């Protein structure tokens, strides 16, 4: 019926699409995936399209009821029009259009992946993460925090919480008040800090207690806020769990695969470019708050020194997840000096260090 044309196919499990040959025959759409002997057949009766097909269609974004999350994008007028005549239901405005709605977001994302995203030098996962609505990001963040704190105590001594809140507020105001972060201190004997989706940050007890000044805590906090502002946690999760799970979050579908989402997040390590972005944002926040950038440099340098001497036992996760101390120091040093005040007064700093009791 319609001979081979090129299309882009995404299985919905990975945030990337692959080039495929597609054709139409009496059964349905035939999709030739690289490395598989038999073409995949998508019967006409179980298809949905992102927008109704007609005589003037030049492209088709197709989903298939029995492969949730999978999408096929074909930019070919003969294919789109051939599909319209083989599957008249796809030309109707009602019915299937509505049935396809949850997947339109996928289709849009796949289309974005197929066109221009690579050329623009952006990772598809980042583009997809950028499309997650706030509600979905917060839901994802809440799941991360819940899984992190399921078997661990969170530290919440009132005076310590007040000190932490004051510091977070100061950095938030410095960022224009747009991104309001919630910071949780977890009673965990591991030197780690990470940003979760939806403006959430987790610092371990070890970070608070190993820090030698409030400027060091402020620096780590500002760096993590930088990751959050840049949507790195969302991007990392989309990359790790795939497009399908991310879409399930958006559409409120089943999300059984997300049980270990906290673990996923602690295992993420960011690219050098992402670390640089977090540092740039973090230094901007510190400057806006009038807090010395020396803390962030000192802290990372010191923990790296400990790691190099091999005396840390078990390794320091923060170094795997946040590398490149020298580059950070250079970046901080390249800034023009600015007036600073202590990140916290001595009483508040003492209270913060006792937040876990």
Binding site for Zn ion (CB under 5 A): 275, 278, 322
The smaller minimum CB distance to Zn ion, of residues 245 and 278, is found at 278
Output DSSP code: residue 310: T
Q: Residue 14 CB: number of other CB atoms within 10 A?
A: 14
Minimum separation from the CB atom of position 227 to Zn ion (A): 6
Minimum separation from the CB atom of position 115 to Zn ion (A): 31
Minimum separation from the CB atom of position 19 to Zn ion (A): 34
Cβ-closest position to Zn ion: 322
Helix (H) or strand (E) holding 188: none
Minimum separation from the CB atom of position 223 to Zn ion (A): 6
Task: Answer positive or negative: Cα dihedral of 44, 46, 52, 57.
Answer: negative
Minimum separation from the CB atom of position 209 to Zn ion (A): 20
The smaller minimum CB distance to Zn ion, of residues 224 and 248, is found at 224
Minimum separation from the CB atom of position 269 to Zn ion (A): 9
The smaller minimum CB distance to Zn ion, of residues 248 and 279, is found at 279
42 φ, ψ to 5°?
A: -110, 100
The smaller minimum CB distance to Zn ion, of residues 28 and 228, is found at 228
What is the radius of gyration, based on Cα positions, of the chain?
Answer: 25
Pairwise CA distance, residues 171 & 246, whole Å = 30
Quickly count helices (H) and strands (E) in the chain. Answer: 14, 10
Q: Phi-psi region for residue 352, left (φ > 0), alpha (ψ -120 to 50) or beta?
A: alpha
Contacting residues for 292 by C-beta, under 8 A, at least 6 apart: 215, 286, 340, 343
Pairwise CA distance, residues 153 & 171, whole Å = 26
Strand order in the sheet with 28-32: 40-43, 28-32, 18-24, 2-10, 71-74, 60-64, 47-49
CA–chain centroid gap for 42, Å, is 32
SS (H, E, C) 68-133: CCCEEEECCHHHHHHHHHHCHHHHCCCCHHHHHHHHHHHHHHHHHHHHHHCCCCCCHHHHHHHHCC
Three-state DSSP state, 225: helix
Between the CA of residue 110 and those of 24, 46, 62, 87, 131, what are the distances in Å?
21, 20, 11, 22, 12
The smaller minimum CB distance to Zn ion, of residues 58 and 280, is found at 280
The smaller minimum CB distance to Zn ion, of residues 69 and 236, is found at 236
CA nearest neighbour of 315 among 307, 323, 326, 304: 307
Minimum separation from the CB atom of position 193 to Zn ion (A): 8
Minimum separation from the CB atom of position 301 to Zn ion (A): 15
The smaller minimum CB distance to Zn ion, of residues 102 and 197, is found at 197
The smaller minimum CB distance to Zn ion, of residues 106 and 192, is found at 192
The smaller minimum CB distance to Zn ion, of residues 70 and 191, is found at 191
Minimum separation from the CB atom of position 286 to Zn ion (A): 15
């Amino acid at each position: 019926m319609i001979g081979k044309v090129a299309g882009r196919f995404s299985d919905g499990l990975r945030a990337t699409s692959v080039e495929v040959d597609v054709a139409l025959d009496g059964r349905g759409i035939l999709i030739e995936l690289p490395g598989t002997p038999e073409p995949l057949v998508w019967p006409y009766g179980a298809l949905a399209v992102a927008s109704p097909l007609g005589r003037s269609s030049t492209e088709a974004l197709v989903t298939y009821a029995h492969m949730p999350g999978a999408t096929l994008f074909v930019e070919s007028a003969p294919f789109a029009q051939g599909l319209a005549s083989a599957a008249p239901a796809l030309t109707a405005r009602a019915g299937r259009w509505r049935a396809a709605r949850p997947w339109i977001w996928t289709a849009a994302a796949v289309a974005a992946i197929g066109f221009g995203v690579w050329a623009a030098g952006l990772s598809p996962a980042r583009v997809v993460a950028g499309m997650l609505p706030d509600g979905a990001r917060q839901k994802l963040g809440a799941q991360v925090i819940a899984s992190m704190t399921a078997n661990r105590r969170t530290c919440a001594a009132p005076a310590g919480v007040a000190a932490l809140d004051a510091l977070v507020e100061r950095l938030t105001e410095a960022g224009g008040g747009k991104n309001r972060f919630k910071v949780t201190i977890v009673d965990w004997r591991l030197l780690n800090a990470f940003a979760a989706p939806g403006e959430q940050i987790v610092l371990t007890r070890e970070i608070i207690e190993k820090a030698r000044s409030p400027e060091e805590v402020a620096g780590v906090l500002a760096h993590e806020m930088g990751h959050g502002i840049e949507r790195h946690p969302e991007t990392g999760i989309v990359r790790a769990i795939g497009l399908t799970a991310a879409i399930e979050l958006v559409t409120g579908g089943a999300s059984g695969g997300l049980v270990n989402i906290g673990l996923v997040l602690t295992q993420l390590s960011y690219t050098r470019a992402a670390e640089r972005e977090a540092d740039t944002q973090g230094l901007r926040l510190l400057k806006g708050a009038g807090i010395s950038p020396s803390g962030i440099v000192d802290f990372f340098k010191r923990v790296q020194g400990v790691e190099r001497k091999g005396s840390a036992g078990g390794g320091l996760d923060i170094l795997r997840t946040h590398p490149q101390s020298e580059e950070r120091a250079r970046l901080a040093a390249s800034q023009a000096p600015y007036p600073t005040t202590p990140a916290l007064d001595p009483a508040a700093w003492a209270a913060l260090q006792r937040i876990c009791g």
